[in-house]
Every structure is written in structure tokens, then in C-alpha cells.
Amino acid sequence: MIDLLSKLGRVTRAWLRMTGSMAFRIVACCSIGVLASLLSFPLAASGETNPARLLARAKGRVPVYYSPRFEAQALKYQKTLIACQRWYDRKVRKHVDFDLIVLNKEDWGMFTDKNMYPWGAEYPYPFPYSQPSVNGPSRRAFVVLPAHFEDLTDASGFADDLELLVENISYHELGHLYAKAMEMETSEFLGEMYADIFMASFVRARRRDMHVFLQGPPAKFQPQRYSSLADFFYLYGDVGVTNNIWFQFQLYHLSDVLIRDKSLLTVIAELKNAFRDSTLPPFNYVAAQLEAIHPGLGAEMGPLWQPTTLPDARPNTCTGKAGSDKHSALVVQNASTKAVTLTFKAMSRSVAPNSWARIGGHPGEQVRTDPGLCFVFQDEPAIVRLPSQQRADLGP
């Protein structure tokens, strides 16, 4: 049963698939035919319900659909992703067909409207994302990129060359599709890391100009609230947009270390073997597995390998108090030998032993555990460690 709790836990997943826009050297190729007429109005204006018919289109090994006026970006992204796809094909001996979609802000809004296009996603502009589904414009997987990543506030702090960064993120998005095709995506954190390992393999071999991205966040990136990879592991998108991007850079670095001395297929085999269990283990288990694959990884990652900075949530009396509008989260870590049942808003779910779950809620709301303890959402996310101190901590 997919219950409310697990759905809430995925609400912010969109932030993970962050990316930007781009435009690099235009290689206008006369062999690419633009089939659709160029339009200067957003999708909805025409009353057309199929976006693929309204967007301009360029044929090719990777068909690209794009907002009119952004042909240059579309063709550049198409070319760079074809090169990346060829690399992945060769290295993992597998081929993934996909469409590329490059949208400006207006068309993005139409495209991600689930009511209009069920196969779209709710990811906000201008964060690139990918979908492994087969319901895209050409009935296959797709990658969506923004036409102008500079529209994101503070984006200039992420890289000196934002177009180059978006191009780089497109490799990450394609990495998601390959990881999915190879049945590797077992959790949010590992899913991001797998996508990065694909990306890093290509960048290491073919894009010296992008090596700077593999070294972690740029020096000008401001320090962030959440600084442990365990924080990102547990909170994922709930760390906030900018902090999320900071972690993406850290995962770039981690992935690059993992693949530094090995082939892509070797690393994939090691990771699949280490994380074949579908339950969600705590971060220290994941860290230990990665350390076994690459001894010295923890030392190289430095402060990123520190314990989570999430504050502990204390059990409270169950009052049923209403919540505010602000979004918050509780990470429930079950270190006991028995499954624990959580109840939230009349929905319940079980958390397996030595596993965890993230629940999204509002400050003031509470999650009940089966011993009858309640944990209240605070303004900031917190971690519930079970078994807790039980009633001794409840106070008067």
C-alpha cells in the first residue's frame, strides 16, 4: 500500500533532480530538420493539448522538442547528450532511448501541469529532471532542461559558467535513466550517486573543461546549514534548494572518487552487490559499504562523513494539536530488532528493523509510534531515534 506517509516523504524529490539551462557553442547542423513551425506563444495559448505538436522539433538519434526561440540551446544540448549517450552505451553495453525537451519558463509551466500532461512531472522551473517512463512525446524516457538556468535566483553562485553546468547536469540526468535501466535506483541518495557516477565517468574521459565540477562546491558557494552527507541522506530535498545543490556538488566529488581507478561497469557491479537489499539502511551502513568499496573514502570526504546534524526529537504527550502551514520533516530511525508502526493523520506504515523513514508534516503535527509515544514536528526537521527513552522523557 502506498500510504500518505510515504507519499509525503517524496514530495520534495523534485529538488534532487536539479539542473540548470545551458547554451554552448552552437553547431547548427543542416542535417537536423526542424519539423514544427516556430511559435512565439506558450502552449496553452493555442488550445492544443499535445505539447509535442506545439513545440518545435529536431530529429536525430536523440529527438529534441523545444520552445520556439531556443533552437540554439536545444541543438547544443542534443549534440552533447548524444555524445554522452554513446559513451554510456559503450561502457555499460546497454542502450537507452530517450527524448530531450528544452523549455522556457512559460512552456515549462504547461508541461509540468499534471492535469494537462499526466506524464509530466511537478518539478519547478528551472530544475532539470528526467523521467524513465515510456509516456513521453515519443513514448519513451525523456530529459527536460530549462532554456535559461540564469532565471534561478542565486544561480551565479553555483558556477562561473552556468551553461557549462547545465550541460554537465544533463549528463547526470541521463545517468538516472541508465541507472534505472540497470535496476540500480534503490533509494534517493544512491539514485543521485549512481547518476553522478555515470556523469563522472564521461566527464573524466571526455570533458576536461568540466573537471572543476568534480571537486565539490565552488569556493564561492556559501556555507550551508546541513553539512553532513547523513543530513542529505535522510532529508534529501528537505535540506532546501541551495543546500541541495551544495550536496549535489559533494556527491559529484564522492562519485568521482569512487570511479577514479575503476571502470564504470566495475563500480556498478560493486555498488549493486553492496546495495542489493531494497530496505533503507541507516547512513552509517551505507558509508561503511562505500568505504569497503573504496578504502579511504571517508577520510577523503572529511567533514561530510560526520554524523548527522539533525537534532534529536523528544517523545511528547499526544495532544492532536493542529499544525501550521510551514513544511517540516521527521526522520524516524528504527535501531531496534522489531518493526515499528508509525501513525500520522490516520494513516500508518511500518518501519523495518535497522531502517528508517522520512515523514513530511507541519510544525505542531505529530507522529505516533506503536508504544504510544508522539513526536511533534518542529520548525526544523529532526530525527526520532527508536527505541527512544520511552516514557522517562515525557516529563510531567
Task: Please say which residue, 162 or 330, places its beta carbon nearer to Zn ion.
Answer: 162
294 part of the interface to Zn ion, by CB under 5 A: no
Report in angstroms how near the CB of residue 85 gets to Zn ion at its nearest: 17
Q: Of the two residues 203 and 373, which places its CB atom closer to Zn ion in the complex?
A: 203
Rounded to a whole number of angstroms, the minimum distance from the CB of residue 23 to Zn ion is 21
Residue nearest to Zn ion (CB): 17
Shortest gap between Cβ of 16 and Zn ion (angstroms)? 5
CB of 179 to Zn ion, least distance (A): 10
Residues in the interface with Zn ion (CB under 5 A) total 3
**Looking at beta carbons only, is 181 or 382 nearer to Zn ion?**
181
Beta carbons of 19 and 170 less than 8 angstroms apart: yes
- Minimum distance from CB of 128 to Zn ion (Å)? 9
**How near is the Cβ of 251 to Zn ion at its closest, in Å?**
9
All 3 cell numbers of residue 135?
A: 509516456
For residues 198 and 375, which CB has a smaller minimum distance to Zn ion in the complex?
Answer: 198
Residues 121-140 that bind Zn ion (CB under 5 A): none
Q: Between residues 77 and 344, which has the closer beta carbon with respect to Zn ion?
A: 77
Q: What is the distance in angstroms between the CA of the first residue and the CA of the last residue of the chain? A: 38
Q: Which residues contact 298 (CB under 8 A, 6 or more apart)?
A: 287, 291, 305
Distance of CA 90 to the CA centre of its chain: 25
Q: Select 193 or 386, whichever has its Cβ closest to Zn ion.
A: 193
The residue range among 17-25, 97-105, 316-324, 362-370 that interacts with Zn ion, by the rule CB under 5 A, is 17-25
18/23 with CB nearer Zn ion: 18
8 A C-beta contact, residue 257 and residue 294: yes
Q: What character string, x for contact with Zn ion (CB under 5 A) and - otherwise, covers 180-219?
A: ------------x--x------------------------
214 Cα distance to chain centroid: 17
17 lies in the site for Zn ion, by CB under 5 A: yes
Nearer to Zn ion, 176 or 358 (CB): 176
The distance of closest approach from Cβ of residue 351 to Zn ion in the complex, given in angstroms and rounded to an integer, is 25
Specify the residue, 192 or 238, whose C-beta has the smaller distance to Zn ion. 192
Minimum CB distance to Zn ion, residue 253 (Å): 15
- Minimum separation from the CB atom of position 324 to Zn ion (A): 30
- In whole angstroms, the minimum distance from the beta carbon of 264 to Zn ion comes to 17
Give CA–CA dist 181/176, Å, rounded. Answer: 9
Nearer to Zn ion, 131 or 328 (CB): 131
Nearest residue (CB) to Zn ion, 132 versus 157 = 132
Q: Which of 57, 73, 83 is nearest to 138 (CA)?
A: 57
Window 140-179: contact mask with Zn ion (x via CB under 5 A): ----------------------------------------
The 3-state secondary structure of the chain reads: CCCHHHHHHCCCHHHHCCCCCCCCCCCCCCCCCECCCCCCCCHHHHCCCCHHHHCEEECCCCCEEECCCCHHHHHHHHHHHHHHHHHHHHHHCCCCCEEEEEECHHHHHHHCCCCCCCCCCCCCCCCCEEECCCCCCCCCEEEEEECCHHHCCCHHHCCCCHHHHHHHHHHHHHHHHHHHHCCCCCCHHHHHHHHHHHHHHHHHHHCHHHHHHHHCCCCCCCCCCCCCHHHHHHHHHHHCHHHHHHHHHHHHHHHHHHHCCCCHHHHHHHHHHHCCCCCCCCHHHHHHHHHHHCCCHHHHHHHHHCCCCCCECCCECCCCCCCCCCCEEEEEEECCCCCEEEEECCEEEEECCCEEEEEEECCCCEEEECCCCEEECCCCCEEEEECCCHHHHCCC
What is the closest distance, in whole angstroms, from the C-beta atom of residue 176 to Zn ion in the complex?
5
The residues that touch Zn ion, with contacts defined as CB under 5 A, are 17, 192, 195
